[in-house]
Amino acid sequence: MNTSSLDSGRVYDAPSNNWVYRVLPRALWPYAQLARWDRPIGWQLLMWPCFWAAGLAANTAASLGSFSFGRFAFHLFLFFVGAVAMRGAGCTYNDLVDHDIDMEVLRTRSRPLPSGRVSRLQAKIFLVAQALVGLVVLLQFNGFSIGLGIFSLAIVAIYPFAKRFTDWPQFFLGLAFSWGALMGWAAEFGGISVAAVLLYLGAVAWTIGYDTIYAYQDREDDELIGVRSTARRFGDHPRPWLVGLYGITTLLILLAFMAAGAGFVAYLALLAAAVLLVYQILVLDIHDAGQCLALFKFNNIVGLIIFAGLFAALLIRLI
């Protein structure tokens, strides 16, 4: 990597035309980069399982006669703010843990910590600030949801270390990133159901799949420095694994919809999402880092379609 990213204050793998660089003062750029505000795909992928569960729970609540549109909208707002805050906090924590590793990987050397644009103390203070925002959001939910959210922190704490002891760090990411599938249901009903668990497990498989595609960007660097990943585990033949992972994703979400009694439109949306998952597998070129990143980001559309189907099914049920 040349020094242009460092000189410009940007990071190597983020779009330079992002709002962060047009709106925020330059002094705040490193903090926005720590939180990945210049790369919204992370909070979007964290948010969708929350929205799926909230939408699925809303469909069930509507069938039971207990649905409140105001409560549903408030929950979606909280999940959005919480996803942005906790994804930022998680990335900041991950960067603190991976400081030395990031200095050895081409794609991550320009991040604020390895490039020296923020100190570890500054990063820790920023981490606490973001976590406090997340706590404020969490406290708006019922007691069961609060306890469930606190429990998830154990998984979040383990994830950055997983690449050091297992070929499946993406599994731990999936456990953490999919937690919203439980939270969305618990926020509505104050407990967990079979449908919520099935949705959670489906989201875990989805996360492993799309983050494996993402990990192929770093496979060569990871091999040099000994970082483990599913991309290294699957090697040059990821397609059978991705077929299995995305197949499990579709099947488990289908079963979750059936268990919760989702409307017909939700199933049509899931079918459309499944087609997009198949498309990713068919066109994937693991030797093209740019395409791997693009396909990873493409999963935002997958998440949106599934939620749109649930929302449309809800509206039809309410009419």
Percent of the chain with pLDDT over 90: 79
pLDDT at res. 108: 77
Mean pLDDT of 290-302: 96
Crossing angle for the helix pair 169-177 and 41-64, nearest 10 degrees?
50
- Residue 189 to residue 24: CA distance in whole angstroms: 40
pLDDT at res. 1: 41
- Residue 224 to residue 105: CA distance in whole angstroms: 9
Q: Is it the case that residue 16 has pLDDT exceeding 80?
A: no
Q: What is the pLDDT of residues 171-224, one digit of tens each?
A: 999 999 999 999 999 999 999 999 999 999 999 999 999 999 999 998 887 887
Q: What is the pLDDT of residues 225-274, one digit of tens each?
A: 888 999 999 999 999 999 999 999 999 999 999 999 999 999 999 999 99
Percent of the chain with pLDDT over 70: 96
C-alpha dihedral, 250 to 251 to 252 to 254, nearest 10°: 80
pLDDT at res. 15: 62
First to last CA, the chain: 57
Q: Is it the case that residue 301 has pLDDT exceeding 70?
A: yes
pLDDT at res. 8: 63
